[in-house]
Copies of this chain bind each other. A is one copy, B any other.
Amino acid sequence: MSDMTSTPDAPRSPGRPRSIRADEAIIEATLDLLAEGSTIEALSIEAIAARAGVGKATIYRRWAGKDALLLDALRRLKGVPAQPAGHSVRDDLVLLVGAIGKNVDPRAAKIMPCLAPAVNRSSDQFQLYQSIISPRRQLMREVLRRGIDEGVLRADIDVEVTMALLTGPMLIQRVLQWNPDLDEQTLPVQVVDAVLEGIRVR
C-alpha cells in the first residue's frame, strides 16, 4: 500500500484495528468498476465506496486520493506470466504470444486498454505500465536468445524488434480489435510461423 500505517514490529496499537476485509473490498471494487467500463478519470471515490460497501472515510484513511488507490489496485493485476516449457522455441513463442493480453485476472483484459491513454500523460502510470509488461518481455527475450544459442534462429536478428514483431499484431487485435476479420484463436500460431519463415519467396 502507499501510505497505510503498517507497523512491521507491532508496538501495540490500541483501539479497533483496521479491517483487512475493507482493504480487499476497496481494491476489488476499484478493479470491478474499471473492468465494467468505467474510465480512470470517470472513476469516483464515492462509486468505489458504494460498491465496496464502505464509507468514504475508510478509503481516505488508507489512501491519499484516487491516484494512490489506483496505483495500488492496478498493481494487483500483474498476475503470473505464462511459463514457457523450454522444449521447442516455436512452441514457447506460440505460448507467449497467445498469452498476450490474457491475464489470470479476466478484468485485466478490460482494464489494460483504458490504461493506454493515461500512460502517455502520467509518468507514474507509465512506470506502472512498464513494470507490468517488462517481465513478460523478458520472458520472450530469453526464449529468443535461447533460439539463437541453439541455432534455431538467425544470430543477426534484432531481438527487441523481433519481440515487437511477435507482440504487436496480437496486442492490436486483442486490445483494439484492429481487424474484425482476424481470428484471435489461430492468430498466435499464424504470427509465430510467419515471423519465423518470412513472407518472401525463396
Contact = CB atoms under 8 A, between A and B. Distances in A.
A191 B165 contact: yes
B164 A165 contact: no
Interface in A127-169: 129-130, 133, 137, 151-154, 157-158, 160-165, 167-169
Interface in A25-56: 37, 39, 41-42
A194 B195 contact: yes
Q: Chain A contact residues: over half helix, strand or loop, or mixed?
A: helix
A102 B172 CA distance: 17
Nearest to A89: B200
A164 B160 contact: no
Interface of A: 37, 39, 41-42, 113-114, 116-117, 119-121, 126, 129-130, 133, 137, 151-154, 157-158, 160-165, 167-173, 175-182, 187, 190-191, 194-202
Given A39-B39, A114-B117, A198-B199, 16 more contacts: A116-B116, A119-B176, A120-B177, A130-B180, A137-B179, A154-B200, A158-B190, A161-B182, A162-B194, A164-B169, A164-B187, A165-B168, A167-B169, A171-B172, A171-B176, A198-B198
19 contacts: A37-B121, A39-B39, A113-B120, A116-B175, A152-B201, A154-B200, A161-B187, A164-B182, A164-B187, A165-B165, A165-B191, A165-B195, A167-B169, A167-B172, A169-B169, A194-B195, A194-B198, A195-B195, A197-B198
